[in-house]
């Protein structure tokens, strides 16, 4: 009897430890992806002996973390392994969304659209539909189709508001603010971005708040409304301190340099601005920086994305059986 109880206790302890590790990895995935990857790699020796759903959850989560670290080959390898597990009858949605994310972050927008559009075909709960719509809107935005992006975001915002999904509401307010900016509707854009900042403040999500804050400053810089910049920048600069991701600090420095530079720009100012913009990698920040540099007359030193070969796109055979012919050209 004691042996049985000991075995049960050990099993419970092992399961509890694995759950704790996964919860820690998930909590760190957005702002500390390296920690998520480290926790995942600690699980690898035992992962194949765990249930299929547990393996899938770890593989998909780690894939997103690898993607944020720009380790795309490893991210895609994880998704291929997760794809092989679908024969166990697992849910497809997480894997579809992760495949879309990995492609989106590589700026492979047609491939990302394929996976997100496929997920939209399934009978998803309203919140998942809203998340897919958000992703489709982000692709439309990055491709310059602002009218389509606005439709996706507004439809998703209606569902997110109805079902009280505060984090998704804040994200969509942020995204709509960017769309309105690109449509030169500056005051409505600022209103949306302030709503996003308020939402993230209430949620205590510092990284998302920092991103929304930088987007608001971007709109102010695009307007060259320097008194407004001074009002907003004081508080925002405090939130983006030396603990913030380096890329966000760098983008803030670019916005501050655009504010401080004399007009018309002198050659030294142009070189300084181009130097600040060159290391940016987050697609949205890269696009914003390019637009602001062009507007200021500083050119665009940001290296364009290399041409993508569709033959090298991520292929997930099990998923593709549910999604129809793969066309990402």
Q: Rounded to 5 degrees, what angle do the CA atoms 218, 219, 225 make? A: 105
Gap between the Cα atoms of 119 and 97, Å rounded: 7
Q: What is the pLDDT of residue 59?
A: 96
Task: Write out the chain's pLDDT in tens, 329 residues.
Answer: 555 444 444 444 445 566 889 999 998 887 799 999 999 999 999 999 999 999 999 999 999 999 999 899 999 999 999 999 988 777 788 899 899 999 988 889 899 999 998 988 877 889 888 999 999 999 999 999 999 999 999 999 999 999 999 999 999 999 999 999 999 999 999 999 999 999 999 999 999 999 999 999 999 999 999 999 999 998 999 889 888 899 999 999 999 999 999 888 889 999 999 999 999 988 899 999 999 999 999 876 555 555 566 678 889 999 999 888 887 65
Residues with Cβ within 8 Å of residue 145, at least 6 apart in sequence: none
CB 78 within 8 A of CB 63: yes
User: How far lies 146's CA from each of 73, 129, 181, 211, in Å?
Assistant: 31, 20, 10, 20
Q: What is the pLDDT of residue 30?
A: 78
What are the tokens at 188? 């409505």
User: How far lies 115's CA from each of 129, 134, 314, 317, in Å?
Assistant: 13, 13, 10, 12
Torsion of CA 16, 18, 22, 28, to 10 degrees: 90
Q: What is the pLDDT of residue 263?
A: 86
Of 233, 173, 180, nearest to 208 by C-alpha is: 173
What are the tokens at 275? 């130097």
Gap between the Cα atoms of 46 and 44, Å rounded: 5
Q: What is the pLDDT of residue 10?
A: 42
φ, ψ dihedrals at 84, nearest 5°: -65, -20
Gap between the Cα atoms of 132 and 100, Å rounded: 10
């Amino acid at each position: 009897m004691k042996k049985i109880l000991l075995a049960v206790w050990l099993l419970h302890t092992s399961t509890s430890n694995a759950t704790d590790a996964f919860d820690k990895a998930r909590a760190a995935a957005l702002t500390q992806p390296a920690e998520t990857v480290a926790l995942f790699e600690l699980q690898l020796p035992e992962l194949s002996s765990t249930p299929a759903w547990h393996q899938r959850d770890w593989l998909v989560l780690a894939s997103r973390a690898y993607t944020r670290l720009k380790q795309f080959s490893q991210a895609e390898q994880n998704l291929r392994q997760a794809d092989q597990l679908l024969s166990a009858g697992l849910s497809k949605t997480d894997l579809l969304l992760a495949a879309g994310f990995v492609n989106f972050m590589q700026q492979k927008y047609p491939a990302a659209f394929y996976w997100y559009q496929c997920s939209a075909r399934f009978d998803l709960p309203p919140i998942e539909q809203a998340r897919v719509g958000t992703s489709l809107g982000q692709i439309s935005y990055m491709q310059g189709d602002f009218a389509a992006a606005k439709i996706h975001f507004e439809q998703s915002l209606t569902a997110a508001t109805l079902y009280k999904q505060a984090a998704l509401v804040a994200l969509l307010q942020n995204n709509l603010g960017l769309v309105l900016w690109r449509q030169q509707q500056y005051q409505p854009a600022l209103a949306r971005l302030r709503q996003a900042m308020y939402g993230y403040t209430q949620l205590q999500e510092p990284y998302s708040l920092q991103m929304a804050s930088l987007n608001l400053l971007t709109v102010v810089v695009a307007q060259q409304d320097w008194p407004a910049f001074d009002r907003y920048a004081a508080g925002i600069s405090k939130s983006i301190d030396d603990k913030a991701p380096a890329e966000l600090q760098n983008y803030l420095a670019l916005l501050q340099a655009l504010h401080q530079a004399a007009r018309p720009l002198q050659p030294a100012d142009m070189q300084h601005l181009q130097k600040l913009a060159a290391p940016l990698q987050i697609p949205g920040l890269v696009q914003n920086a390019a637009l602001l540099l062009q507007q200021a007359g500083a050119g665009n030193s940001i290296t364009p994305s290399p041409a993508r070969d569709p033959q090298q796109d991520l292929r997930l055979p099990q998923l593709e059986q549910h999604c129809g012919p793969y066309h990402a050209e």
